[in-house]
Amino acid sequence: MNKVDLSLYLVTDNSDNEEKFLKTIEDAILGGVSVVQIREKTADTLDFYNLALKVKKITGKYNVPLIINDRVDIALAIDADGVHVGQSDMPCDVTRKLIGKDKILGVSAATVEEAQKAEKDGADYIGTGAIFPTATKDDAESVTINELKEIVESINIPVVAIGGITLKNASELVDTGIAGLSVVSAIMSADNPKKASEELLNIFNS
Amino acid sequence: MNKVDLSLYLVTDNSDNEEKFLKTIEDAILGGVSVVQIREKTADTLDFYNLALKVKKITGKYNVPLIINDRVDIALAIDADGVHVGQSDMPCDVTRKLIGKDKILGVSAATVEEAQKAEKDGADYIGTGAIFPTATKDDAESVTINELKEIVESINIPVVAIGGITLKNASELVDTGIAGLSVVSAIMSADNPKKASEELLNIFNS
């Protein structure tokens, strides 16, 4: 199993304003983000590739792992640190074969069954959510805090919670056994992404 | 350079009616289609992957090469015969590195410069179009028959013409030096895909 510090896991959103997007990622890392995932669901492959290269310069500078959502080809092309796949993406076992054993493989799982299958199929960690209502991903299945705890207890790989996590509700997750908080809007849309990151990490470590 | 019979090159469209989609591909192969490319611009990765596996069973049965549009990860995952990339997809040289030297690599090029760069960067063939007005790809640049001839003469790898090719206009392309006709609607939307394929191939070989 590949180990990664999942304490504060940033998933990116809309990169239309690229300069602001890249600055937000760098500020978030300076504030304590421990892993960055690029999620681009509509970009042309070339645009995604070029963006990923730019983000990799930033994550590389701070030695923070860079994960690519869904697109194994982009991850291989830029030699990212890993890939994150959902239940509608490439199957976990196929993804593991494509990326090899040394890259990080994360899988979204909303049930104990999905999480156990992902562990068996080569996942290094699980992302579980949405925990709270979220505007970013309106098709996400919702997972209660009790279900999150059940998933954590059912597998031996770490779990990050994702979906609607904010400074106001993050403390509700501290005792669930998760390895980290995964956020999009709470950092990407924050007025001060560095401060938001510091505060989220403080809550998680408290 | 990997050699492939490009005489009649089928590019797929909408696969919503999967049963009909797969039957059309098989009928087209029985009618003489020499290479099949799957193009899916909106499908989830898992759906694309599963569809590609099904198409591969058909192309494999008839020993017809299967090319995946854009998605190098899908091509690698199902061990397709090759990949076709456009100017907004993964760069040609990066694609070649990812797929290795033995898989077929096609590149869309609308100018002599694009075609020559693709040849230099490892392409096995060029797709050039749109030659005639087309409903399938409304963002395609248009290429005149004279420009098509210029591209054919400017490189040493084969060129297929694509874009709005029908039974009515295909004969206009016979003397351009192309290695084949590439069609979408003329076969995928034909009442009789096998007959349409036979007729297109007859025109090309005449």
> Counting one residue from A and one from B, how many pairs have CB atoms under 8 Å apart?
57
Q: Which two tokens stand for residue B147?
A: 């420009």
User: What is the Cα–Cα distance from B173 to B203, expressed in whole angstroms?
Assistant: 9
Which one of A45, A76, A88 has the shortest CB-CB distance to B88? A45
Does the domain at A8-205 match CATH 3.20.20.70? Answer given as yes
Which one of A46, A76, A88 has the shortest CB-CB distance to B46? A88
Give A45→chain B minimum CA distance, Å.
5
pLDDT at residue B1 in the model: 78
Nearest Cα neighbor of A122 from A179, A173, A72, A56 is A72
pLDDT at residue B48 in the model: 97
Alpha helices by DSSP H, chain B: 18-30, 45-61, 72-78, 92-99, 112-120, 145-154, 185-188, 193-205
Q: Which two tokens stand for residue B168?
A: 């009515």
Cα angle vertex A83, ends A82, A89, to 5°? 170
State whether residue A37 is helix, strand or coil: strand
Q: Which two tokens stand for residue A168?
A: 């106001």
Q: Give the chain B residue whose CA is nearest to the CA of A49.
A: B90
Q: Residue B69: list chain A partners with CB under 8 A.
A: none
Any catalytic annotation for residue B39? yes
Residues A65 and A4: beta-carbon distance below 8 Å: yes
A93 touches chain B (CB under 8 A): no
B136 is in an annotated binding site: yes
CB-based burial, A54-77: b 16+ in 10 Å, e otherwise: ebbebbeeeebbbbbbbbbbbbbb
Mean pLDDT of chain B: 95
Using 50 as the pLDDT threshold, list the residues of chain B that sit under it.
Answer: none
Q: At what angle do helices B18-30 and B45-61 cross, to 10 degrees?
A: 30
Q: What phi, psi does B102 have (nearest 5°)?
A: -90, -10
A113 touches chain B (CB under 8 A): no
Q: Confirm whether the ipTM is greater than 0.85.
A: yes
Count Cβ atoms below 10 Å from residue B61 Cβ, excluding itself.
10
Which one of A73, A91, A94 has the shortest CB-CB distance to B72? A73
Kind of pairing between the strands at A8-11 and A35-38: parallel
Please identify among residues 18-47 of chain B the ones whose CB lies closer than 8 Å to any CB of chain A. 44-47
Look-up of token digits 């310069």: A57
B147-175 pLDDT per residue, tens: 999 999 999 999 999 999 999 999 999 89
B185 is in an annotated binding site: yes
User: What is the Cα–Cα distance from A115 to A118, expressed in whole angstroms?
Assistant: 5
pLDDT at residue A129 in the model: 87
Nearest Cα neighbor of A8 from A22, A23, A17, A27 is A27
Kind of pairing between the strands at A125-128 and A159-162: parallel
Using 70 as the pLDDT threshold, list the residues of chain A that sit under it.
Answer: 135-141
